[in-house]
Amino acid sequence: MARVAAEQELGEFIDARSWGGRQYVLAKLAASGGCLAGMALIIGLLHFLYIFSVFLLFYFVWGISNAIAAAIRGPQFTALYANGVAATSRDGVVAVTWPQVARLGKSDRNRGLTGGRRFPLYLADGRCLQIPLVRGKDGTDQFIARIAAALRQHGRVVE
């Protein structure tokens, strides 16, 4: 990715975001397995409290679906540079400068079962990069905020 970013003259590296790597998939599968074991224990040992296993069932389905989505999409990595963005996915590496970006869309739907919220970065040529949302302790996503600030500074639309 660094080579492609240098070829596109993206400038100084600022920040990066990754999603869906091997550790992500393994963590989701481990959590889902723990939920499945918890459901079996609750149903097997505490017959009268089986209603509590419903909550574990929801978490189990969420974890399995996120692991499957990450395995299908493959690992995604987005790097923010002073003059643009570079992103990797199963399709390869895409590096774009700010003039090649049309706008940053807003995350209009929550894909909770398939990887969470994503912000669409619409390119002038019609392509779209999906940047995953990761909220910090304060409830904001500083990575998306940095991208939005850079786009505003270069006269691009931020929804």
Q: 0.85 cut: is pTM over it? A: no
Which CATH number is 2-19+75-158's, of 2.20.200, 2.60.120, 2.30.29, 1.10.3430?
2.30.29
* Strands 101-104 and 157-158, sheet pairing: parallel
95 has pLDDT over 80:
yes
Spatial CA neighbour of 110 closest among 136, 135, 138: 135
**Average pLDDT value for the chain:** 82
39 has pLDDT over 60:
yes
Residue-level pLDDT at 81: 94
Q: How far apart are CA 101 and CA 131, in angstroms?
A: 14
Residue-level pLDDT at 8: 82
